[in-house]
Homo-oligomer: A and B are copies of this chain.
Amino acid sequence: MTRYASLISSVMAVIFLAGLAVTSPAQENRRGTGNLGVVIERATGSVLIIDTTKRKSLARVDGLGDLSHASVVFSPDQKFAFVFGRDGGLTKIDILNATVSHRIMQAGNSIGGAISDDGSLIAVSNYEPGGVRVFDAFSLKLVADIPAKWTGGLSKTIGLVDAPGKRFIFSLWDAGETWIVDFSSGPSPEITKIKGVGKRPYDALITPDGRYYLVGLFGEDGMTMFDLWQSPIAGRTILSGYGRGEKKLPVYKMPHLEGWALAGHRFALPAIGRHEILWVDTRSFKEVARTKVHGQPVFAVARPDGRHVWVNFAHPRNDTIQVIDTLTAKIVHELKPGPGVLHMEFLPRGNEVWLSVRDSNVVQVYDTKSFAKIAEIPAKSPSGIFLTARANKIGL
């Protein structure tokens, strides 16, 4: 019996220690989520969870499928990241515990998603089958299936964004339509379909205030702009023929419209097939300036205060970043972070910018005032960088 007692005593000690291990770290474990983010590792189908205060990666989460064109949104509590894969995978990651909370294959081929303003719904834009599917953000159970039916069958959908009032907006590549889907009355949405938006909408954005939805057109010069504050909502053409009469350069990469920058009283946008940034007045939507840049711009991203716009470029000039002053539209700084600069993300108050340098397998951190590099974080072929501050933003 003493041997039993001794053994039991040992057991109790082990359990007691285990018990200690429960509570004490529990408070230590309680960390905030305002300074977290995820980095897409496109080649390996994984994401890194990063801490922007310590400037290091905390963990890697694997098994997310094809992340060659991935995007991420966050739950309002900033505990969960929803990762939209190219292959139709939708993965809900618990970023505090670095685990996959839920994962579904929701379609065959998809191109981005959005979260409703109240955080309750996740929408995914699909090429195959063409349409949008909407899921419960808690369980990833299907709430609504919205096939993008038109006379030609099912259209690929693009440019999916959230809008105030529990709405999603997206456009139909094949049909040239824009649909506004309103979930404010429950799980069966009210759908407004706007036809004749233009040929081949290829991407769209919503301005940070949720007021304007802008559709890029691959099939014609110009874009279509919707002022969502007007009733009824009607599109109008802007920037018509901005490249007319000049020789176009080959398009190496489609500029992302979400890469439009709102900077001061102007938008800065990458011109398709040109080595230029166009500056567009935020009221008139007319071009007011152009900046010649190093290559075909991919993303133009404004520092959160709008004073500078940072631009990266398409292959083969994708080793460079240029920084443009908003007031003068002149380049004020150039960086050579390394081969394959794919993405830029600013800290929410703009004091640092984080860059993914794919072919160097690093994420680099720069001070935006001095332009000094202040950290490097190893990552496998990093592409998109997404910080939890996006949880608070309309359209991101």
The interface of chain A, by Cβ under 8 A from chain B, is 4, 7-8, 11, 14-15, 18-19, 21-22, 25-27, 29-35, 52-53, 74-80, 96-97, 117-119, 162, 164-166, 184, 209-211, 229, 264-265, 283, 303-307, 326-327, 347-352, 369-370, 388-389, 391-394
A-B contact pairs, 27 of them (CB 8 A): A18-B19, A22-B25, A30-B31, A30-B96, A30-B97, A32-B75, A32-B77, A33-B33, A35-B76, A35-B77, A35-B78, A53-B76, A76-B348, A76-B349, A117-B351, A118-B351, A164-B304, A164-B307, A165-B369, A209-B264, A210-B305, A211-B264, A229-B307, A229-B327, A348-B391, A348-B392, A349-B392
Q: Looking at the complex, which one of B29, B210, B211, B350 makes contact with A30 (CB distance below 8 Å)?
A: B29
Which residues of the other chain, B, contact A79 by a CB distance below 8 angstroms? 30-32, 34
Known interface pairs A119-B53, A211-B307; A393-B30 also in contact (CB < 8 Å): no
Is A32 a contact partner of B96 (Cβ separation < 8 A)? Answer: yes
Which residues of the other chain, B, contact A53 by a CB distance below 8 angstroms? 76-77, 119
Which residues of the other chain, B, contact A33 by a CB distance below 8 angstroms? 32-34, 77-78
A264 to B282 CA separation, bound complex (whole angstroms): 10
Q: Which 5 A-B pairs have the closest CB atoms?
A: A34-B78, A32-B79, A32-B77, A348-B392, A210-B305
Of A164, A305, A370, most B-chain CB atoms within 10 Å? A305
A283 to B306 CA separation, bound complex (whole angstroms): 15
Kindly provide the distance from the CB of A82 to the nearest chain B CB, expressed in whole angstroms.
14
Interface of A is mostly: loop
Is A74 a contact partner of B350 (Cβ separation < 8 A)? Answer: no
Which residues of the other chain, B, contact A351 by a CB distance below 8 angstroms? 117-118, 164-166
A22 to B24 CA separation, bound complex (whole angstroms): 9
A347 to B79 CA separation, bound complex (whole angstroms): 17
Is B77 a contact partner of A31 (Cβ separation < 8 A)? Answer: yes
Is B34 a contact partner of A52 (Cβ separation < 8 A)? Answer: no
A164 to B351 CA separation, bound complex (whole angstroms): 7
Which residues of the other chain, B, contact A350 by a CB distance below 8 angstroms? 117, 164, 210, 394
Of A33, A79, A229, most B-chain CB atoms within 10 Å? A33
Is B22 a contact partner of A26 (Cβ separation < 8 A)? Answer: yes
Kindly provide the distance from the CB of A32 to the nearest chain B CB, expressed in whole angstroms.
3
Which residues of the other chain, B, contact A26 by a CB distance below 8 angstroms? 22, 25-26, 29
Which residues of the other chain, B, contact A18 by a CB distance below 8 angstroms? 14-15, 18-19, 21-22
Known interface pairs A33-B77, A96-B30, A211-B307; A392-B394 also in contact (CB < 8 Å): no
Is A394 a contact partner of B349 (Cβ separation < 8 A)? Answer: yes
Nearest opposing residue in chain B for A14, CB measure: B15
A79 to B351 CA separation, bound complex (whole angstroms): 20
Is A34 a contact partner of B388 (Cβ separation < 8 A)? Answer: yes
Is B349 a contact partner of A164 (Cβ separation < 8 A)? Answer: yes
Nearest opposing residue in chain B for A307, CB measure: B229
Q: Looking at the complex, which one of B31, B34, B184, B369 makes contact with A391 (CB distance below 8 Å)?
A: B34
Q: Looking at the complex, which one of B19, B25, B229, B392 makes contact with A34 (CB distance below 8 Å)?
A: B392
